[in-house]
Amino acid sequence: MKIISLAFDLEGYPDIKGEQKPAIVSSIPDLFSYMSYCLFPGTTVFGPFLTYTDHSKFLHATPLSTRWALKIVSSMVVAAVCLGLSVCVLPFLLNEPQYNKWLAAYMAAASFRYSHYFISFLSQSSTIASGIGYDSNIDSWSFSVVHPVAVEIPRSMSMVATNWNLPMHKFLKNYVYKPSRRYLGQFGAVLLTFSTSALLHGMNFQLSAVLLSLGTYAFIESVLRMKLSKRLNACVLDRPCSQSGCGHRHKSVEWWVVLMNSGFVLLNLFHLAYLGVMFDVTNEEPGLQEQGFSYTHTLKKWAHLNFLSHWVALGTFILSLIL
């Protein structure tokens, strides 16, 4: 990812409108600068992705302070809490026999999400410990890898994709989605972006099916909510309107707008439970999770839930066509 981004930043690339962006990095880095970027200890083990420009910005000494230490400690505490929820609390609740299959699916998906938060906050703490993330404008350390609240209370599936891994989202948006959209259109660029994500994560049917479903869901929801927003003249887009730039007649504080947006939150929680159940390994053989499951395992998990999420997505797509 670092090498790909550096190649784009050295040459420049066309944006969504087809306009050529100038090179961000003016010249090829020397050997030591290049190796310090690619093999930087702070991001080698747990990540996250950094551009060469971001990396170079932090090469100069950053002031170590109490705030720096507190940011590291607080990130590690949050990581430990997420680990406890993932491997202790949620699996314990998952074994309760009175849960129906959908509640069990939500618990299994939540356990997987919190394991991801654990790695993300560990990544955040190791990155800050190495000196990345100091903002001199506000004299504070402000580097984020994930926003769990935006995932756990998902306004839209596109917000889930964005906040699941912020540096990864930045890479995919700038170096895959934007350069390809002018050639493939919006939906084609979305599919290419999520296919690239699947390839970078380790291509297997299980992961590819989840990521491509997520990308398709996000696109369908975005189109539907854009049409609803125009017809109703209301703040029901997949992303919240800015306070100053909102031109809708019906603002997000009106009761029926709140109710509609809340309905989409519940719909997205349903989709997350369906997609996340794929990573439930409670009753699976040890070691299978690392190598990925076969397509029969994937279809079996979704068949247990009657493929309901995909049927709902199809219904949502048909509704967007009608509108």
Look at residue 266 in the predicted model and tell me its pLDDT: 95
Q: Could you give the C-alpha distances from 56 to 28, 62, 150, 169, in angstroms and in order?
A: 13, 12, 30, 20
Q: What is the mean pLDDT of residues 75-89?
A: 93
| Burial status of residue 202 (CB atoms within 10 A of its CB: 0-12, 13-18, 19 or more) | exposed
Task: Determine what percent of the chain is predicted with pLDDT higher than 90.
Answer: 35
Least confidently predicted of 133-142, 283-292, 306-315: 283-292
| pTM for the full predicted model | 0.88
Q: Is the pLDDT of residue 292 over 80?
A: no
133 vs 283 pLDDT, higher one: 133
pLDDT for 271: 94
What digits encode the pLDDT tens for the residues 145-170? Answer: 999 999 999 999 999 999 999 999 99
With beta carbons less than 8 A apart as the criterion, state whether 217 and 271 touch.
Answer: yes
pLDDT computed for residue 97 by the predictor:
56
Q: Cα–chain-centroid distance for residue 67?
A: 27
Q: In percent, how much of the chain has pLDDT > 70?
A: 90
Average pLDDT over residues 30-39: 90
201: annotated active-site residue: yes
Q: Is the pLDDT of residue 312 over 90?
A: yes
**Whether residue 120 has pLDDT greater than 80:** yes
- In the set 147, 169, 201, 248, the catalytic residue is 201
Pair 308, 274: CB distance under 8 Å: yes
Structure confidence at residue 317 as a pLDDT band (50, 70, 90): very high
Residue 107 pLDDT more than 90?
no
Pick from 115, 141, 146: nearest CA to 48? 146
- Longest Cα–Cα distance of the chain, Å, equals 63
Mean pLDDT, the chain, rounded, equals: 85
Q: What band does 316 get if pLDDT is binned at 50, 70 and 90?
A: very high
Sign of CA dihedral 255, 259, 260, 265: positive
